[in-house]
């Protein structure tokens, strides 16, 4: 972006902690003039240069009209649903670039069956698997009875992070198949089911910027899925994350790049749907080497809250995003501050089950940061009382 170029006016879609963290980091860029967060949360209006707008992240026509009227020149979708539903095409048609993949590329998250077939075509290490439409329930049951390994059951479509069952026994697996394929507990997301080999080992998340050619990973993160101490209790959307994950050694990160990440970007481009945006890949570090668990086509939550703290002051997030959409990611600097970052989630009592909503949250004084410690509050789906 040259000195003569207009400043960035960004439309950021979403209302979670991820979007607040992105707004916080984007506001530090001298390239950014203004940010509109749709719909935002109780914390995003307090970010320098940012304001909330009352338009749903799924109201594409409303978002497009607002963007044109307000001279938006970069759109940053936070959640996966708008990307899977084709928000990139909507803005591309009016000449506004989107930091995020096309609907075709977003199938890597929107359909687990599609992504597993992609991995098989490109020899990307992953668990053994078979895919069944819900009409083939009997064949799916026969497969879990005869495959010879413990299985994981995954609804192929988007299920808000809840479409995975991990049965302990074959009988549990058969009951799980009935719930997904016959009882439709995950709705349309379960119209196709991926049955895959259960893998063991540490799990890590790798978020990486890509312009369709180059891919640059951020430090690997690990999140806490279960609600209780010591990895106990029901799964949540993530109770926090930390990065870099010590298990992701330099040797492992090099292996991931060579065997998984770069082949993914190359394969998507060669198949006609290059990936532009942030590719979030889940890995299991097994005794036989890293295996891809799944792809996500956007920033992860709660990983983003920790990772934004690790981007140092030389790393201009807006410049990185702009370089991705202009297919020149290799022209920008992405540097990481030393040390570690942690995000901790405060949730209403009862979560992830039914819980009270609308409670007032009072926040005290944060510890003063210095050259070695940086602290900030991030809101997730909160509302301002004024």
pLDDT tens column, 273-297: 999 999 999 999 999 999 999 999 9
Give the pLDDT confidence score for residue 43 in this predicted structure: 87
**Both tokens of residue 354?**
């039914």
Dihedral sign for Cα atoms in the order 365, 370, 372, 376? positive
**Residues above pLDDT 70, as percent of the chain:** 93
**Residues above pLDDT 90, as percent of the chain:** 78
pTM of the full structure:
0.92
Average pLDDT over residues 139-161: 93
Average pLDDT over residues 210-238: 86
Nearest Cα to 35, choosing from 74, 64, 62? 74
Average pLDDT over residues 17-33: 95
Dist CA 35 CA 37 (whole Å) = 6
Residue 178 contacts by C-beta under 8 Å, 6 or more apart in sequence? 137
* Tens-place pLDDT, residues 302-326: 999 999 999 999 999 999 999 999 9
Q: In terms of DSSP bridges, do strands 341-344 and 222-223 run parallel, antiparallel, or are they unpaired?
A: unpaired
Give the pLDDT confidence score for residue 384 in this predicted structure: 55
Average pLDDT over residues 54-74: 97
- Cis status of the peptide bond prior to 211, with omega within 30 of 0: no
Give the pLDDT confidence score for residue 233 in this predicted structure: 77
CB 11 within 8 Å of CB 72: yes
Q: How confident is the model at residue 214 (pLDDT cuts 50, 70, 90)?
A: very high
pLDDT for 8 beyond 90: yes
User: In a 10 Å sphere around its CB, with 0-12 CB exposed, 13-18 middle and 19+ buried, how is residue 189 labelled?
Assistant: buried
Give the pLDDT confidence score for residue 355 in this predicted structure: 82
Average pLDDT over residues 356-378: 67
Give the pLDDT confidence score for residue 1 in this predicted structure: 46
Give the pLDDT confidence score for residue 2 in this predicted structure: 47
Dist CA 313 CA 209 (whole Å) = 17
**Both tokens of residue 164?**
């995975």
Give the pLDDT confidence score for residue 231 in this predicted structure: 75
Name residue 342's beta-bridge partners.
242
Give the pLDDT confidence score for residue 5 in this predicted structure: 57
Per the model's pLDDT, the better-predicted residue between 234 and 78 turns out to be 78
Lowest-confidence region among 72-86, 170-184, 327-341, 360-374:
360-374
The count of residues in the chain is 386
Give the pLDDT confidence score for residue 366 in this predicted structure: 67
Average pLDDT over residues 99-119: 98
pLDDT for 386 beyond 50: no
Average pLDDT over the chain reads 91
Per the model's pLDDT, the better-predicted residue between 353 and 57 turns out to be 57
pLDDT for 371 beyond 60: no
Dist CA 206 CA 260 (whole Å) = 11
Q: How confident is the model at residue 240 (pLDDT cuts 50, 70, 90)?
A: confident
Q: How confident is the model at residue 375 (pLDDT cuts 50, 70, 90)?
A: low
Q: How far is the CA of 60 from the CAs of 65, 105, 199, in angstroms? A: 9, 19, 39
Q: How confident is the model at residue 343 (pLDDT cuts 50, 70, 90)?
A: confident
Q: How confident is the model at residue 378 (pLDDT cuts 50, 70, 90)?
A: low
């Amino acid at each position: 972006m040259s000195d003569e170029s207009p400043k960035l006016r960004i439309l950021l879609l979403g209302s979670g902690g991820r979007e607040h963290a992105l707004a916080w980091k984007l506001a530090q860029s001298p390239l950014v003039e203004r940010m509109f967060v749709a719909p935002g949360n109780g914390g995003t209006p307090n970010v320098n240069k940012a304001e909330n707008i009352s338009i749903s992240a799924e109201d594409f026509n409303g978002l497009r009209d607002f963007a044109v009227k307000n001279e938006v020149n970069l759109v940053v979708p936070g959640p996966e649903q708008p990307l899977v539903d084709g928000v990139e095409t909507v803005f591309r048609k009016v000449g506004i670039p989107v930091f995020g993949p096309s609907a075709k590329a977003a199938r890597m998250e929107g359909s687990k069956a599609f992504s597993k077939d992609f991995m098989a075509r490109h020899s990307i290490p992953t668990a053994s698997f078979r895919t069944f439409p819900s009409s083939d329930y009997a064949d799916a049951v026969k497969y879990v009875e005869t495959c010879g390994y413990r299985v994981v059951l995954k609804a192929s479509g988007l299920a808000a992070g809840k479409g995975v069952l991990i049965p302990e026994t074959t009988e549990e697996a058969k009951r799980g198949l009935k719930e997904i394929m016959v009882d439709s507990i995950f709705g349309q997301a379960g119209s196709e089911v991926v049955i895959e080999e259960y893998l063991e080992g540490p799990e890590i998340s790798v978020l990486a910027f890509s312009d369709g050619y180059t891919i640059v990973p951020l430090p690997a993160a690990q999140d806490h899925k279960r609600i209780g101490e010591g990895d106990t209790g029901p799964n949540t959307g993530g109770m926090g994350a930390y990065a870099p994950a010590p298990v992701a050694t330099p040797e492992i990160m090099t292996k991931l790049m060579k065997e998984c990440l770069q082949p993914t970007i190359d394969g998507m481009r060669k198949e006609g749907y290059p990936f532009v945006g942030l590719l979030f890949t889940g890995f299991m570090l097994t005794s036989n080497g890293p295996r891809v668990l799944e792809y996500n086509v956007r920033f992860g939550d709660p990983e983003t809250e920790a990772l934004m703290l690790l981007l140092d002051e030389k790393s201009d997030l807006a410049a990185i995003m702009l370089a991705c959409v202009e297919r020149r990611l290799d022209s920008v600097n992405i540097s990481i501050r030393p040390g570690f970052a942690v995000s901790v989630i405060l949730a209403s009592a009862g979560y992830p089950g039914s819980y009270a909503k609308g409670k007032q949250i009072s926040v005290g004084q944060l510890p003063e940061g210095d050259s070695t410690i940086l602290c900030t509050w991030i809101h997730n789906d909160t509302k301002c009382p004024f």
